[in-house]
Amino acid sequence: MIKKICRNIYLILIFVFLYAPIVTLVVLSFNKSKTRAKWGGFTLKWYGSLFTNEAIMGALMNTLLIALVASVVSTLIGTIACISIMNLNKKMRSVVMGVTNIPMLNAEIVTGISLMLLFISFNFKFGLGTILLSHITFCIPYVILSVMPRMQQLNPYAYEAALDLGAGPVYGFFKVILPEIMPGIASGFLMAFTMSLDDFIITHFTKGAGVDTLSTKIYTEVKKGIKPEMYALSTIIFVTVLILLLLVNYKPLEKRQKTDKEVKEAVKVGG
Amino acid sequence: MDNHKRNLKILGSPYYLWSAFFIIIPLAMVFYYGLTDRSGAFTLANIASIIQTEHIKGLFLALELSFISTVICILLAYPLAMILSARKVSSKSFIVLIFILPMWMNFLLRTMAWQTLLEKTGVINSVLSFLGLPVLKIINTPSAIILGMVYNFLPFMVLPLYNCISKIDENVINAARDLGANSLKVFTRIILPLSIPGIISGITMVFIPALTTFVISKLLGGSKILLIGNIIEEEFTQASNWNLGSGLSIVLMIFIIVSMVITEIFDKGGESNFL
């Protein structure tokens, strides 16, 4: 009993530690006073002015656009690359996987400056394009590392059987391989999207002047004082994701209970 | 069929070209800049500049703070992972709620929020002084940076540990108990050795980002405390001395590789102990 209480107290403490800053931000989004140092009363005005703040809305659009394009492109390139990597010999495969691991293991700051040096030397114009190229680069490994295990679990004979039965390679891929690796592709896509959305360091080095994502905008605002609209925006994002998560987590539970029931009934009938 | 296989290999060429151009060439450029001076002549001066007082101080401070943070993360995460894996039923959605959800609030804002909480007249101190307790003076000190590192990287320690511990076969633990092992013995002889892979991947996922951060130190350490990451960042964005910045990055990479090799050795050692 005491053990259980201790456990729960520990969980609560960790929960408080992780959520204290988030609660702070949510509270600040309702703060009438412009500085975060003092409480000036409750207001909803930042939620209204957020949508007319072009700088923040522009940064939000950039962030979403980059995350979406980067995750789609990296999912495509990464998944196709996995098919190829599976067919390489052992030595080539370990070389390719080694290179794939570099952006994940290396310090983000080094990845950022290395891409910055590349763009400077090859006269790329810094802007949305360079951010996008960088994000695709660090997103592909996440896709490959989540699709690859699925690929390795595939039964190779199923695909060959499809070919023997007259399916073309493309048709065979879409009908036999793709459904099997789909969960890996989905989780790779989601991971890439989240990583791109939250990235600051690599964007910091590869963005041009005048182009901002939410992260870089916040970073430049830190010195001058963050606009309260930013708190409002992040509260909206947070609550949206919270609701989505609750929906996604709630549904399978319902389904599971249902199938449990069905199984029980089936057993009853059978017994 | 061979022809078919070759076609499949060619499918990967967009990625192979991509990784050559955006992973290998950029890395080679860091080495090129790091090993040359402004005129393009070969030099080791950029790398040797790590022994300058300011640079070596930044490196040692970063090593010290990230080491302490990693240890704190292990100490906090281990009991947490054990508690979570003990309550099997609802823990998966619980973990998502507690660890993944905060990541959707921008990490700069979350770190910033600690400023509000820790400040001299901030929330925590107001509560402390209301209760008649002594106030904290940790904002703009290395302690605040450690707190920021632990806060940001704790999930990366908890998740691999949880994955590892929840996979331990309960029958093994029950067998040990049946054979007379007490809780402590079960922990030191079974749970701990079996969770070493989780600890190892947790360490690499916490130590390297903590060692190389420049954001957390800037937001919570004030402008006076410079870690090696801050020094490199400033060489690129303010001083525009790319050669020096690249040289210091090479040193940083050497430390990353060394830390990975060390953890790898421990990993192997742990495995052979277990077997």
pLDDT tens-digit map of A210-242: 899 999 999 988 878 888 899 999 999 999 988
pLDDT bucket at A68, cuts 50 / 70 / 90: very high
A89 backbone dihedrals φ, ψ, rounded to 5°? -75, 170
Cα–Cα distances (Å) from B263 to A93, B64, B200, B260, in that order, read 24, 17, 6, 5
Domain boundaries, chain B: 50-274
The C-alpha of A41 sits at a distance from chain B's nearest C-alpha, in angstroms, of 16
Average pLDDT for A7-13: 90
Domain boundaries, chain A: 54-226
Cβ–Cβ contact B29 with A under 8 A: yes
More confident residue, A42 or A271: A42
pLDDT bucket at A265, cuts 50 / 70 / 90: low
Distance CA(B29)–CA(B21), nearest Å, equals: 11
Distance CA(A226)–CA(B229), nearest Å, equals: 24
Cα–Cα distances (Å) from A192 to A101, A141, A188, B33, B163, in that order, read 15, 9, 6, 30, 21
| Partner-chain residue, chosen from A19, A117, A198, that has the shortest CB–CB distance to B106 | A198
Cβ contact (<8 Å) for B246 and A237?
Answer: no
The helices-and-strands tally (H runs, E runs) of chain A is: 12, 0
- Please state, as a whole number, how many other Cβ atoms lie within 10 Å of the Cβ of residue A179: 9
The C-alpha of A37 sits at a distance from chain B's nearest C-alpha, in angstroms, of 7
- Tell me which of A118, A123, A173 to substitute to probe the interface with B (most B C-beta atoms closer than 10 Å): A118
| Partner-chain residue, chosen from A108, A114, A231, that has the shortest CB–CB distance to B27 | A114
Chain A residues touching residue B109 (CB < 8 angstroms): 25, 218, 226, 230-231, 234
B239 backbone dihedrals φ, ψ, rounded to 5°? -80, -20
Cβ–Cβ contact B106 with A under 8 A: yes
Chain A residues touching residue B35 (CB < 8 angstroms): none
Given the candidates 3.20.20.20, 3.20.20.60, 3.40.50.300, 1.10.3720.10, the CATH classification of the domain at A54-226 is 1.10.3720.10
Q: Among A113-122, B150-159, B169-178, B257-266, which stretch is predicted with the lowest mean pLDDT? A: B257-266
DSSP letter, residue B50: G
Per the CB < 8 A criterion, the answer to whether A45 and B118 are in contact is no
Place of tokens 């969770």: B195
Cβ contact (<8 Å) for B108 and A105?
Answer: no
Distance CA(A29)–CA(A222), nearest Å, equals: 16
pLDDT bucket at B127, cuts 50 / 70 / 90: confident
Q: What is the pLDDT of residue B88?
A: 62
A229 backbone dihedrals φ, ψ, rounded to 5°? -60, -30
- Tell me which of B96, B99, B100, B112 to substitute to probe the interface with A (most A C-beta atoms closer than 10 Å): B112
The C-alpha of A39 sits at a distance from chain B's nearest C-alpha, in angstroms, of 11
Q: Among A256-270, B8-22, B130-144, B161-175, which stretch is predicted with the lowest mean pLDDT? A: A256-270
Chain B residues touching residue A78 (CB < 8 angstroms): 15
More confident residue, A264 or B48: B48
The C-alpha of B154 sits at a distance from chain A's nearest C-alpha, in angstroms, of 9
- Please state, as a whole number, how many other Cβ atoms lie within 10 Å of the Cβ of residue A232: 25
Cβ contact (<8 Å) for B105 and A237?
Answer: yes
Q: Which of A125-134, A259-268, B234-243 has the highest mean pLDDT?
A: A125-134
Q: Exposed (0-12), middle (13-18) or buried (19+): which is A217, by Cβ within 10 Å? A: buried
Which among B255, B260, B259 is positioned nearest to B228, based on CA atoms? B255
pLDDT bucket at B4, cuts 50 / 70 / 90: confident
pLDDT in tens, B143-184: 999 999 999 999 889 988 988 888 888 888 889 989 988 888
Q: What is the pLDDT of residue B273?
A: 40
Q: What is the pLDDT of residue B272?
A: 41
Distance CA(A84)–CA(A93), nearest Å, equals: 9
Residue A31 β-bridge partners: A42
Q: What is the pLDDT of residue B147?
A: 95
Coil, helix or strand at residue B36: strand
Cβ contact (<8 Å) for A218 and B211?
Answer: no
Cβ contact (<8 Å) for A194 and B104?
Answer: yes
| Partner-chain residue, chosen from A84, A136, A249, that has the shortest CB–CB distance to B12 | A84
More confident residue, B272 or B159: B159
Cβ contact (<8 Å) for B11 and A84?
Answer: yes
Return contacts of B255-259, CB within 8 angstroms, 24+ apart.
Answer: B255/B59, B255/B63, B255/B211, B256/A105, B256/A106, B256/A107, B256/B208, B256/B211, B256/B212, B259/B204, B259/B207, B259/B208, B259/B211
pLDDT bucket at A156, cuts 50 / 70 / 90: confident
Q: Exposed (0-12), middle (13-18) or buried (19+): which is A28, by Cβ within 10 Å? A: buried
The complex's ipTM? 0.86
Q: What is the pLDDT of residue A1?
A: 78
Coil, helix or strand at residue A42: strand
Average pLDDT, chain A: 87
User: Hey, what amino acid is at A21?
Assistant: P
More confident residue, A37 or B7: B7
Distance CA(A4)–CA(B86), nearest Å, equals: 11
Distance of CA A63 to the CA centre of its chain: 12
**Structural tokens at position B148:** 């920021």
Per the CB < 8 A criterion, the answer to whether B26 and A118 are in contact is yes
Which among B235, B21, B31, B209 is positioned nearest to A205, based on CA atoms? B235
Alpha helices (H) in chain B, listed in sequence order: 2-11, 13-19, 25-34, 45-48, 53-86, 91-95, 107-118, 123-130, 142-166, 170-178, 183-186, 192-194, 196-212, 215-220, 228-237, 242-274
pLDDT in tens, A157-187: 888 898 899 888 888 888 888 998 999 999 8
Within 13 Å and on the Cβ side, how many CA atoms surround A112? 21
Q: What is the pLDDT of residue A18?
A: 92
Q: Among A94-98, A156-160, A248-252, B180-184, which stretch is predicted with the lowest mean pLDDT? A: A248-252
| Partner-chain residue, chosen from B12, B99, B151, that has the shortest CB–CB distance to A80 | B12
Cβ contact (<8 Å) for B80 and A10?
Answer: yes
| Partner-chain residue, chosen from B83, B107, B123, that has the shortest CB–CB distance to A198 | B107
Cβ contact (<8 Å) for A77 and B18?
Answer: yes
| Partner-chain residue, chosen from B106, B116, B246, that has the shortest CB–CB distance to A234 | B106
Residues 186-205 of B with CB under 8 A from A: 204
DSSP letter, residue B42: B
Determine the angle formed by the axes of helices B107-118 and A214-224, rounding to 10 degrees: 20
Residue range B50-274, CATH number: 1.10.3720.10
Place of tokens 């595939």: A154
Q: Exposed (0-12), middle (13-18) or buried (19+): which is A251, by Cβ within 10 Å? A: exposed
Answer whether residue B206 shows pLDDT above 50. yes
Cα–Cα distances (Å) from B191 to A204, B119, B197, in that order, read 42, 40, 12
Q: Among A110-119, B27-36, B102-111, which stretch is predicted with the lowest mean pLDDT? A: B102-111
Chain B residues touching residue A249 (CB < 8 angstroms): 93, 96
Find the angle CA(B138)-CA(B142)-CA(B146) to the nearest 5 degrees: 95
Cβ contact (<8 Å) for B19 and A22?
Answer: no
Chain A residues touching residue B116 (CB < 8 angstroms): 24, 28, 36-37
